[in-house]
Structure 1
Amino acid sequence: MDLEFEPGKNIAMKIPAHEYENTVRFYREVLRFKEITGNGAGDTPRFEFGDKVLWLDCMPGLSQSEIWLEVVASDIGKASEYLKEQGCHRRDEIEPLPNGFKAFWISSPSNIIHLVSSSDDT
Structure 2
Amino acid sequence: MMPKFEGGRNIAMKVPPHQYEATVRFYKDVLGLEQIEELLPAVGFRFGSNQLWIDRVPGMSQAELWLEIVTDDTNKAAEHLAAAGIVRCDEIENLGRNFDGFWISSPASIVHLVDGKPGSW
TM-score range, shorter chain: over 0.9
Paired position in structure 2 for 1:37: 37
Paired position in structure 2 for 1:13: 13
Please say if residues 2 and 80 of structure 2, whose CA atoms lie closer than 8 Å, have aligned partners that are also in contact: no
Pairs within 5 Å for 1:53-64? 53-64=51-62
Cα root mean square deviation, aligned: 1.4
Find the aligned partners of 1:121 and 1:26 in 2 and give their Cα distance: 25
Paired position in structure 2 for 1:78: 76
> Following TM superposition, by how much is the alpha carbon of 1:44 offset from its aligned partner in structure 2, in angstroms?
1.9
> Following TM superposition, by how much is the alpha carbon of 1:121 offset from its aligned partner in structure 2, in angstroms?
7.0
> Following TM superposition, by how much is the alpha carbon of 1:99 offset from its aligned partner in structure 2, in angstroms?
2.1
1:69-93 deviations in whole A, cap 9, x for unaligned?
0000111100000000000000000
TM, length-normalised to structure 2: 0.94
> Following TM superposition, by how much is the alpha carbon of 1:3 offset from its aligned partner in structure 2, in angstroms?
1.3
Find the aligned partners of 2:95 and 2:45 in 1 and give their Cα distance: 21
* Structure 1 residues without counterparts, runs of 5 or longer: none
Corresponding letter in the other structure for 1:58:
R
Q: Share of identical aligned residues, percent?
A: 49
Corresponding letter in the other structure for 2:36:
I
* Structure 2 residues without counterparts, runs of 5 or longer: none
Number of residue-to-residue matches in the alignment? 120
TM, length-normalised to structure 1: 0.93
